Structure 1
């Protein structure tokens, strides 16, 4: 641990510039990160007073392939990004957990009272309590801490701001009280547990895994208790391409039912074959039974299942193309994934408000603007939020300018692949 005043002085002197550059990858953002760290430490001091602290970071994530496949025990390709949740952390004086997130009220969680609370569903307290309860239940040491948390992971933009928060809580508990030895996969699983059971939101494990493990990763959820994680080459700069995210600024409010209906529809198809998850359904048998499924289930569950089956194959092809250095093939597969999500998965707009189709507009505009300079697809859960684009470096500023013109200044963000997941940065 280090004194807050000392850390501020050392940051101002540039002592940790190499650490920040290694973590955030982008030299142009170094000054921003240095100032951000200093400001967060000062906010901690205003809240809790000067003291000995450690600084933790957990990144947001970008899904690259495997749109809505994880909850059916499928495969995904995802990457951590250089936007993150950042926490300045010290030992609490009363052995309980106290977290102040920038722009919100203080959240207090008693270590001896970790049962789920119905009235906390959908709150930050539920996430803290849930992660802590799960890790304690798995036999890890859990004690109190006090933290000031800030985040530049865009909320509601499909970059997993909630998963980043869950992971930073787990990473703090690992670093402060367990010598940093809690496996990133375990931390991710605790985050999913908190979101499913305490927060009340159905989700797969992809978001938490990408935030916790770091880098570009291929995850196979055939056995979600022991997912297989493989690092994949991710040097887009070598191909002169940038990863861009466009925030359409559309609201995620009242979309929970839309999200929940996707796994529900897929499970209807799995149940037709007397299976629990689509991953267990043989592809040939599925296509042989389409007529019977349509008659019994209707068309949308069938179409969503088709997306899952084809996306499974596509993820493996994306991984193979990156390993082989065939970036052109990779881009074609990204485009195919987007088309499948729009046509078969049908998660680009909600049918509850057909006049609001911001993601569709962003995709249409991107295809026209990019031409042969890149590809785009719906990003994350869909229905609202963001699209993803891989854009030639020389064309990025033009693409950014024209997308910002439609959706507002700062809508298009150029991201870097971060190689580290949840980590203790300083202290």
Structure 2
């Protein structure tokens, strides 16, 4: 295994444990997680693998096969920069429970594609440390640990969805998650049985959320909730009445969050009824809301969605935080080539870099790797 070989070369011994955690695609339920709402992600086949051994001191030595030519030594948590913050943040949240560590990282989640490579990194490291030090943390506790690392150490005010999907998902299932109670259930999602595929269209436009527009959207939602006298926008039951009391951006944000929660519940209902082929309209509506009400799409994402539908997709939407990243399209198997050509031609007409296409299959969450 490549990451084990790299660990041996860098640190002179075998790792004590190796764990893999996946990225995720969010089928529907965007920007609802930090509003205490509902989400429906599933884990993807691509992820991050962490090989780890403990150290007796507090030093952290990190090697990434994607990002560093050799080991990076971090003596103090505050010295972490760039990608290392996501790893060091996990150790920092564990405090004195965990000393230093030697860690090698290998990943194949397309970075910047909106498939949550950061959560995969956090959860793989958290799961490996949990195993290594016999901490007894549940999968949900691992997810919460990763979220705290990103919120409190990295400074990205994300919700729980990405880490929960990486830690909790099961193969062949989506994860219906109530982001307030953390109650969840796995919903069977066998697209192939219905002659369908979920095509991920990576626009190759990199997004960066921390401290930017993502944080602004969250602040707008929190401000709107205060004005409406609710703990979170999930609690808005009279949408028309709420909209009458708000103006501008806050009004639009509430419109999206409330209707998106309804779309998540409706889509779960269709899946449980076996009506997988009927979910496309909800994907389309979600994208329009994200574009017009939440204002987190981009020209590249909009074109990917529009061209997918012209090529014969059943439904399409941006996925992830937005401002770039990926779109997803629900496509019948016999229309895959048509959809790809339609998107490629549309990008060529604009003179844009060709997007990358991936087929996402609901995959397993974090798990140990034999080596």
**Same fold by TM (over 0.5)?**
yes
Please say if residues 109 and 128 of structure 1, whose CA atoms lie closer than 8 Å, have aligned partners that are also in contact. no
State which of 60, 64, 76 in structure 1 corresponds to 2:27.
64
Q: Between Structure 1 and Structure 2, how many residues are aligned? A: 361
Please say if residues 255 and 383 of structure 1, whose CA atoms lie closer than 8 Å, have aligned partners that are also in contact. no
Task: Say yes or no: does 1:345 pair with 2:294.
Answer: yes
Deviation, structure 1 residue 323: 1.1
Residue deviations 1:85-133, cap 9 Å, x none? 01233344756432201132534345xx65xx3x64x633322232123
Please say if residues 155 and 210 of structure 2, whose CA atoms lie closer than 8 Å, have aligned partners that are also in contact. no
Please say if residues 99 and 148 of structure 1, whose CA atoms lie closer than 8 Å, have aligned partners that are also in contact. yes
State which of 152, 167, 185 in structure 2 corresponds to 1:212.
167
- Aligned twin of 1:158: 114
- Aligned twin of 2:48: 85
- Aligned twin of 1:75: 38
Deviation, structure 1 residue 194: 0.8
User: Structure 2 unaligned runs (5+)?
Assistant: none
Structure 1 distance, partners of 2:9, 2:355, is 30
Aligned-partner SS, 1:345: coil
Structure 2 distance, partners of 1:52, 1:253, is 32
Q: 1:279 to 1:289 in 2, by over 3 A?
A: closer
Residue deviations 1:228-270, cap 9 Å, x none? 1111111111111111111111132588422112112212211
Task: Say yes or no: does 1:425 pair with 2:369.
Answer: yes
Q: 1:402 to 1:142 in 2, by over 3 A?
A: same
Task: Say yes or no: does 1:308 pair with 2:308.
Answer: no
Q: 1:408 to 1:40 in 2, by over 3 A?
A: farther
- Aligned twin of 1:288: 241
Please say if residues 244 and 413 of structure 1, whose CA atoms lie closer than 8 Å, have aligned partners that are also in contact. yes
Equivalent positions of 1:84-163 (< 5 A) are: 84-92=47-55, 94=57, 96-102=59-65, 103-104=67-68, 105-109=70-74, 117=78, 120=80, 123-136=82-95, 141-163=97-119
Residue deviations 1:381-412, cap 9 Å, x none? 01111111111112223333443553656701
Please say if residues 305 and 329 of structure 2, whose CA atoms lie closer than 8 Å, have aligned partners that are also in contact. no
Structure 2 distance, partners of 1:403, 1:310, is 28
Structure 2 distance, partners of 1:92, 1:341, is 46
User: Structure 1 unaligned runs (5+)?
Assistant: 1-37, 350-356
Q: 1:292 to 1:253 in 2, by over 3 A?
A: closer
Structure 2 distance, partners of 1:71, 1:253, is 18
Deviation, structure 1 residue 369: 1.4
Equivalent positions of 1:223-242 (< 5 A) are: 223=181, 227-242=182-197
Please say if residues 404 and 411 of structure 1, whose CA atoms lie closer than 8 Å, have aligned partners that are also in contact. no
Please say if residues 363 and 387 of structure 1, whose CA atoms lie closer than 8 Å, have aligned partners that are also in contact. yes
- Aligned twin of 1:414: 359
Structure 2 distance, partners of 1:43, 1:410, is 31
- Aligned twin of 2:218: 263
Aligned-partner SS, 2:287: helix
Structure 1 distance, partners of 2:72, 2:234, is 39
Residue deviations 1:189-229, cap 9 Å, x none? 11111111111111111111111112310000123xxx111
Q: 1:253 to 1:62 in 2, by over 3 A?
A: closer
Please say if residues 403 and 411 of structure 1, whose CA atoms lie closer than 8 Å, have aligned partners that are also in contact. no
Of Structure 1 and Structure 2, the greater helix share is in 1
Aligned-partner SS, 2:176: strand
Structure 2 distance, partners of 1:329, 1:398, is 20
Residue deviations 1:281-321, cap 9 Å, x none? 3x22x412433322xxxx22111101111111111111111
Structure 1 distance, partners of 2:223, 2:121, is 32
Please report the TM-score for the alignment, with normalisation by the length of structure 2.
0.90
Larger C-alpha radius of gyration, 1 or 2?
A: 1
Structure 2 distance, partners of 1:163, 1:367, is 30
> What is the aligned-residue RMSD (CA, Å)?
2.3
Structure 1 distance, partners of 2:358, 2:32, is 26
Task: Say yes or no: does 1:171 pair with 2:127.
Answer: yes
